[in-house]
Amino acid sequence: MLDRRNYLALLAAAGVGATVAFEPTISQAQPLDAGVAGASGQAAELSRALRELHGSLRVSVREYDGTTLRRTQEFDGDLLSDGPRQWQLKWNTRRVPDGHGWEVTLTCTLEKGEAEQSAISLDFPFESWETANYVMIPGIIYNGNRYRAIGNGYNPDYPADMYYNPQTPLTISNNPRLAVDAAAPSRIELATFSTAAPAMSFFSPKFKKGWIVLTEQGTRLGNSGLSVEESASRESCEFSISAPVVRRQVAGFGDFRTSDDRASSWAPGDAVSIRFQVFTFDADGIPTVLQKFMDVRKSLTGPTAPRNLLPMSKLAELGTDICRGNFTETKAGRYYLPENNRDFQLGWVSGMINTYPMLALNDPTERGRVSDELDFVCSRMKGKSGFFYGTITEGGEIRSEKAHPDFPAVQAMVRKNGDVLFWLMKHVMLLKAQGHGDTVKESWELAAGGLAEAFTRTWRKHGEFGQYIVPETGDIAVYNSTAGAIAPAGLALAAAYFRRPDWLSAAEEAAEFYYERDTKSRGFTGGACADISQDADSETAFGLLESFMALYQYTGKKGWLTRARVQAALCSSWTLAYNPLFPAGSAIARLKGRMAGAVWASSQNKHAAPGVCTSSADHLFKLYRATGDKKYAELISDIQHAHAEAVNMPGHITTDYRIGSSMERIQPSDAEGKGAVGNFIWTRNSWTETDGVLMALELPGIYVRPGEGILIPFDHIEAEYVSESRQAAEVRLTNNTAYAARVSVLAETARQSARPLGYTAFLDWPQVDVPAGGAVTVQVTRKGKVTCLA
């Protein structure tokens, strides 16, 4: 993986202007009764809901000198007079269909006079506030980020007190946060484009209520601002939306820099409109708020309309060709390169994960190469305890991860070990499903079993997996975090394969622990990336969902589906819910990119990426099958289509590498400087390419339930019913891309969908060839048979 400390040097793109023009989006709200068309009527409806949380709604004009706030003047009613200046408010309010929300368009006009460096602020002050309240701003703020913070930059070193200390508090990098210290100022200030959705939310345990406000990325004045500020006493808190954004500091990757934001100049007749939705609702805990957020995340910004650019079969062809060309032999061993150098690291960014789609090719040459890599991993990277080391140089030197001079023992990421167990089991299962069980080596099985035993032993001894371990001894070097999120999935697979119910018990206990402590009580999971601290991150969110779905498959217990729904909602909070508007001169804007579905990395690394690191996220599809709730299918479809937007293709250049390559940067925010907004980094990343191939492999091109009216395309084709009966359906597949498509088809009944989908089910999906720019009609039966008709 490219060292993010070098990114700024790569981001010396020509200065891209920060000014963007925003167009109104389609609303799904319904008009209120005629009696609440004016401001007073709206206040009666909305204010009652806010009062349930001891909140209110105010509007103010804020005057600045640069980024220093000089004066705030509140509206008294709809009029504000200030000497020669006169401001007027106009309200337009509608009810949101769910009955718990209001949509408001607030227009502020300067009717008389002129104003310099002035912004309009929409303020939601809440009294009877408690620091125990859960505050979430999607993709960046979870539980207020109210934790001990260290360092002042990317990937800070850990202090000595974090090592071999189970009592150490959860520790994050220097991110925007509400204060831990009761005597310190407590304020978060962000631009809307620094979030996965322009939204703020909180849960009050005291009042058993949740609150969410959604807004748009910006107004005619540019990007808007989001802020949360607690009073000195912590007895009140104010959430604000401002037009335009004026931050005192801009958050980077674990640090801050001085902002050059500026408020606007106003002439007589100038106006700005701010659209927002407010939801108040009963909530018995953080999970309710997360699920409500998933339900409403697109309510204001509207449908995302992803583009069909690149058939998944073409993506798989190009991705496996790139991986094929990156097989190498070094002094350390023989392996597919997981990075842009010749060193090797396990898991995380594709080491021993990019092998899986190569094995799925069912090609003798690639099968032999995969075998060589598994031999190398199991012989050179396994510690005496059963845990694996995370990194080895091409020369064969094992490297420590998150090392500290006071503690010389070589450490490894728990997350990488979870990946090893999960993916090693998937490799063995795939070989057997392909009919190549005779090629499975005892050394691989011993390594997988030893790792499962190491995880189980660690769980029994410590009641957690920790963040970093010592593979030589099995000791936990750094505690806390959710770094072991995917380990229960690996344990579940290993338990079934080796017939070890004790491993399955450990998997269930550990998964329940991480759900209760992290998702349910903290409202986030984190600490799985090698270049962050114990910050909230998307990778653990999706990893824990993988574990829940694995446990549902192997235990049949509906409780895992209940947890999976909450976990998927957390995952949605990391995923772009709308198509950000990028600066006109940026690479993404020139390509007219639609980036809804890009996945934010972590609260430290403030960027989105094409895909989930590193997974097809087919567990979302499995959750859709198990529940019938289409929002999970929509989420994985968004992720897959956003990935295609970042793939380097003729006429659609996104990297400096081969056609079919991709890189890990979709940057809506200015965390890396204004010149980075909307611009790709000129490199490539194996993990994003692997992601694309995995999605092509493990997601069906279309999912159909003949006779039940269900037809969902995941591939970059259009699918529509021609006719449908109880036994079969005729489906028209249209390919409007420039590339031929081979579309996999999963057809089943509702009863069949109630049975969990196996990890190698894709081997049995029939495929249909659809020419570039062409269409075919197929008959699909309830038994899954597919016949081309025309």
pLDDT band at residue 587 using 50, 70 and 90 as cut-offs: very high
> Is 739 within 8 Å of 311 (Cβ atoms)?
yes
What's residue 41's pLDDT?
A: 57
For 697-732, how does the pLDDT look when each residue is reduced to its tens digit (9 = 90+)?
Answer: 999 999 999 999 999 999 999 999 999 999 999 999
**Average confidence (pLDDT) over 84-108:** 92
What's residue 22's pLDDT?
A: 59
Tell me: pLDDT of 14 over 50. no
What's residue 620's pLDDT?
A: 98
* CA distances in angstroms from 587 to 1, 677, 678, listed in the order given: 22, 9, 6
Using alpha carbons only, what angle is made at residue 451 by residues 446 and 453, rounded to the nearest 5 degrees? 95
pLDDT band at residue 290 using 50, 70 and 90 as cut-offs: very high
Give residue 562's identity as a one-letter amino acid code.
T
What's residue 507's pLDDT?
A: 98
d(CA 111, CA 123): 22
Whole-number average pLDDT of the chain: 94
Residues of the chain with pLDDT > 70, as a percent, come to 94
Distance of alpha carbon 98 from its chain centroid, rounded?
25
What DSSP character marks residue 678?
A: T
What's residue 45's pLDDT?
A: 76
Q: Which residues, in sequence order, are CB contacts of 391 under 8 Å at separation 6+?
A: 343, 344, 345, 346, 398, 399, 401, 412
**Average confidence (pLDDT) over 501-512:** 98
> Is 294 within 8 Å of 625 (Cβ atoms)?
no
> Is 243 within 8 Å of 119 (Cβ atoms)?
yes
What's residue 11's pLDDT?
A: 32
What's residue 544's pLDDT?
A: 98
What's residue 538's pLDDT?
A: 98
Lowest mean pLDDT, pick from 10-14, 195-199, 399-403, 635-639? 10-14
What's residue 97's pLDDT?
A: 83
Tokens 């204060």, residue located: 179
What's residue 397's pLDDT?
A: 98
pLDDT band at residue 12 using 50, 70 and 90 as cut-offs: very low
What's residue 98's pLDDT?
A: 74
pLDDT band at residue 18 using 50, 70 and 90 as cut-offs: very low
217 three-state secondary structure: coil
pLDDT band at residue 4 using 50, 70 and 90 as cut-offs: very low
What structural domains does the chain harbor? Answer: 30-96+98-296 (no CATH), 312-698 (1.50.10.20), 702-788 (2.60.40)
Element (H, E) at 209: strand 209-215
**Average confidence (pLDDT) over 244-272:** 98
Kindly report the pTM of this predicted structure.
Answer: 0.95
Lowest mean pLDDT, pick from 380-384, 470-474, 764-768, 786-790? 786-790
What's residue 368's pLDDT?
A: 98
For 426-444, how does the pLDDT look when each residue is reduced to its tens digit (9 = 90+)?
Answer: 999 999 999 999 999 999 9
What's residue 100's pLDDT?
A: 81
Tell me: pLDDT of 267 over 50. yes
What is the phi-psi region of residue 592: left when phi exceeds 0, alpha when psi lies from -120 to 50, beta otherwise?
left
Lowest mean pLDDT, pick from 49-58, 96-105, 602-611, 637-646? 96-105
Peptide bond between residue 614 and the one before it cis (omega within 30 degrees of 0)? yes
